[in-house]
Every structure is written in structure tokens, then in C-alpha cells.
Chains A and B, each alone.
Chain A
Amino acid sequence: MAKFSPRKAVILVFILICCLYFFYPTTPSDSSPKSTTSAINSKDLKKIPPDQQPETLFAESKLPKVPVVRGSSQSQQRLKIDKLQRLPLREQLAYQFPYVVESRFPAFIWQTWKYTPASPKFEDKFRETEASWTEQHPTFVHEVGTLIYLDYV
């Protein structure tokens, strides 16, 4: 039976520390996709000449700028699926997709079409324009025709 020597213990601890150092995230991880540049971020806005900057009109928005924590008040209680499904559609959507003004723009470009570019039915005349979206916005995920299934047409 081999003895577990102190030297081996030190080496093992050293390896463990190296692993922790290299692999442990230094910032808290979140479930959203890795952040990429949004289509218009504050850096881009500064590049826009002053006479092309958005002119702010009068009305003040009442929409929540920061996330409302679910469960923090009566109206934000977590709902069971059967209760949720009995709500009108607009309320179901609002519950499932809460809106926060200061959230990030998702780095996705979605285009609806009958076919995806991978399909043989995707016409060649569209290929150049379809590709232009990825060329102009390489940091975005670009999906065409993947959200709609029209097999019955």
C-alpha cells in the first residue's frame, strides 16, 4: 500500500490552486449570452454628428428602467402554470417577458422567411442580401427562416 507522502499532498494542492486560478470566473456569470456590441451603443452614439443625434421629445416614459424583482410585492408573485394559462394573452406575455428599459439589446438578428438559407428552396437571388447582415454585423447571431415552420403550405 503506497503512502500518501506530504510531497504528493503539496503537489496536489498546488495543482488544485492552479486549476482554481485559471478556471474560476473572475466576474459573476449570468445566464445571458456573452455580451457583444449592441447595434447602437453609447460609443456609437458619440460618433453620430450632433445634428443627427436623436431629438428628445417631451413625454417622459413611465416604463421600469430596472428589473422588478418577482415576489417582492403582491402583483409580482410567482404564478403556477395553470393560473398563468387562465390569464388573458397580454398578461401572460407580460409575465413571461418582463420589459426593462435598461436591459441590453440582444445580439440577434432574426428574419422571417419561408426557408432557411440551408434549404435548397432558398432562392439564389437572395443569398447576397442575406449574407450582408452577417457581414455588416459579425458580432450578431443572424437567423433566417428558423422561427417559422410552413410545412403545410
Chain B
Amino acid sequence: MIGIEADPDRPDWKDWYSRRIQFCQWTIQSKPGHPVLREIIANITDSTLKLKKAGKLHIKHDDVVEFTGPAVWTDIIFDFFNDPKYYDRSHETHDVDWKVFTGMNRPKQLGDVVILPITSFSPGVGHSGAGEVEDPQAFVFHNFEGRLKKKTRLENTGG
């Protein structure tokens, strides 16, 4: 079970976000061994070892969003949704992409994955149509202490 973290419906979304739709990586519910979990672990392990080999592994990483954050998490999930190993895509004409999830306000289920709308794991963020923290769809609230935020990221410091 995953949630939407951001759905920036604005032409300059690239100035603020890494992906047009971002899945939340601060809350995930899963059963053991899911291929997405396997892939994120292996992917970050590979990236880390590659950086280490190149002598570029530092405690402070410039682009944590891409390294371990919502960008890489989102990419891996979309790869999974479009992988014929896991989904029977023989009758599909279009890839599963951001258009499938943009603006959603009720959960969607794709095979064994339930995707919750933005309010569920990302309430009160002040963008992407997210409901407030009191919304009945809100399940988890991220207080944004700010340790991992990119400086250029659209900030909401309410609450």
C-alpha cells in the first residue's frame, strides 16, 4: 500500500519536484518480499557501492531525493507497474504513467498494490489538492522537520 506524495499540476513542476507524480516513501505498508521492496533495496545498494567505488560516497549527499527519496522510489514503482513479469499487459495500449494517478481522490488498485490518494499519507501539504490533517482520508501526518528537504523545494511550514 502506497500513497501519493506530490501531484504538482503546474507547468513549472520541474522547478520544484523531481517527478510529475511522486509516490510517498515515508510511509509504506507491505508484506515481506514484495518485488518493489526488493528492487529499492538492490537499487540503493548498487548506487551506494558505485559511489563508494568512485570515491564519491559522503555522509551528506547532495541529491537525497534521487538517491533514496521519492524520485527513485517512484521510478521503481512505475517500472513495476509496467513490467510484463508482474502484470499481464497483453491487452494494454498505454503505459502506466502519471496520468493514471493525477488528481485521484479515491484509492486505486493495480494488481496487488493499492495506491492511496495524496490526503492519506501527505495531508496538509498545501498543494496537489491534498486535504487537511483532519480529513477522514488522512492516515499519516508528516511534520516536515526539514532535515532531508531540498532547499528549492516548495515549502509548507504550517502545523
Chain A positions near chain B (C-beta within 8 angstroms): 39-40, 51-63, 89-90, 93-94, 97-101, 103-106, 129, 153
B143 x A106 contact (CB < 8 A): no
B31 x A93 contact (CB < 8 A): no
Can you report 9 A-B residue pairs in the complex whose CB atoms are below 8 A from each other?
A52-B106, A54-B114, A57-B108, A59-B89, A63-B111, A89-B42, A90-B42, A97-B38, A105-B29
Which residues of the partner chain A approach B62 to less than 8 Å between Cβ atoms? Answer: none
Mark contacts of B59-94 with chain A using CB atoms, 8 A cut-off: 1 yes-contact digit, 0 otherwise: 100000000000000000000010001111101100
Please count how many residues in chain B sit with their CB below 8 Å of the partner chain's CB atoms: 35
A52 x B107 contact (CB < 8 A): yes
Chain B positions near chain A (C-beta within 8 angstroms): 1, 29-35, 38-39, 41-42, 45-46, 59, 81, 85-89, 91-92, 96, 100, 106-112, 114, 137, 143
Q: How far is the CA of A61 from the CA of B114 in the complex (A)?
A: 12
Q: Please pick, from B32, B100, B111, the residue contacting A103 in the complex, using a CB distance under 8 A.
A: B32
Q: How far is the CA of A52 from the CA of B119 in the complex (A)?
A: 12
Q: Please pick, from A59, A97, A104, the residue contacting B92 in the complex, using a CB distance under 8 A.
A: A59
